[in-house]
Amino acid sequence: MRRKIFKGLAISIVVFFIVSGWMLLAYNLDTELPIAHSQHNMIRLHVIANSDSAEDQLVKLKVRDAVVSYLAPYLKDVSDAYLARQIISDRHDELIDVARRVLAANGVNYPVKIEVGIFDFPVKSYGELTLPAGKYEAARVLLGKAEGENWWCILFPPLCFIDMTNAAAIPKGASKDQEKSPASIEFRWKIAEMWSAKS
């Protein structure tokens, strides 16, 4: 009799620890987690179209493709924000030439300007990564009057070269005052979502 009681108690304890462990894991994974790169050591690529016309928006995307393709060999394996910044700055003139060639090939001749600095961005999601509104370092490619819808991705860490499908367009005029930002960069893991769905 005692053996059965002891066995039942042991099983109950094991089950308790297993359930507690899963709950703790789900809680930790479902919490907003800081990732290795924050807005303070992240560099974004920001391409701003001349206007919202179909032609200018198409040219913007072609410039985006050309700039990302040009930078990919230099930045895809970089693990240091300082080095990434230096690479971008050192190739300022080459990046302008890349954009100008795209414009010429598409029969437009408005100017191209590239700025590297700190700029305001609204809260935006990049796949499962949510970036809070605020100031971010960015390389901005301004096409013509730069009055159209714009596009961005993350140059460092080099997410631009890994998953272009998660890059995003930012509505013109959007600012950090227009959208509430989350408290921190958020990265939600699938296992936590599955656990939450069951609970």
Regarding whether 154 and 63 lie in a shared domain, the answer is yes
pLDDT over threshold 70, residue 90: yes
Phi, then psi, of 106 in degrees rounded to 5: -105, 10
Band of pLDDT at residue 190, cut at 50, 70 and 90: very low
Regarding whether 175 and 153 lie in a shared domain, the answer is yes
Regarding whether 191 and 104 lie in a shared domain, the answer is no
pLDDT value of residue 22: 46
pLDDT value of residue 76: 84
pLDDT one-digit tens code per residue, 120-162: 888 877 667 778 888 989 999 999 999 999 888 888 888 887 6
Regarding whether 95 and 12 lie in a shared domain, the answer is no
Regarding whether 56 and 15 lie in a shared domain, the answer is no
pLDDT value of residue 80: 87
With vertex at residue 99, the alpha carbon angle to CA 93 and CA 103, rounded to the nearest 5 degrees, is: 140
Among the residue ranges 26-35, 52-61, 86-95, 141-150, the one predicted with the least confidence is 26-35
Indicate whether this model's pTM tops 0.95: no
Q: How far is CA 139 from CA 4, 23, 52, 132, 134, in A?
A: 69, 42, 21, 18, 16
**Which range of residues forms the domain containing residue 68?**
39-186
Please, which residues bridge with residue 115 across strands? 140
Regarding whether 67 and 29 lie in a shared domain, the answer is no
pLDDT value of residue 8: 60
pLDDT value of residue 145: 96
Phi, then psi, of 80 in degrees rounded to 5: -130, 125
> Counting Cβ atoms within 10 Å, is residue 53 exposed (0-12), middle (13-18) or buried (19+)?
exposed
pLDDT over threshold 50, residue 194: no
Regarding whether 174 and 158 lie in a shared domain, the answer is yes
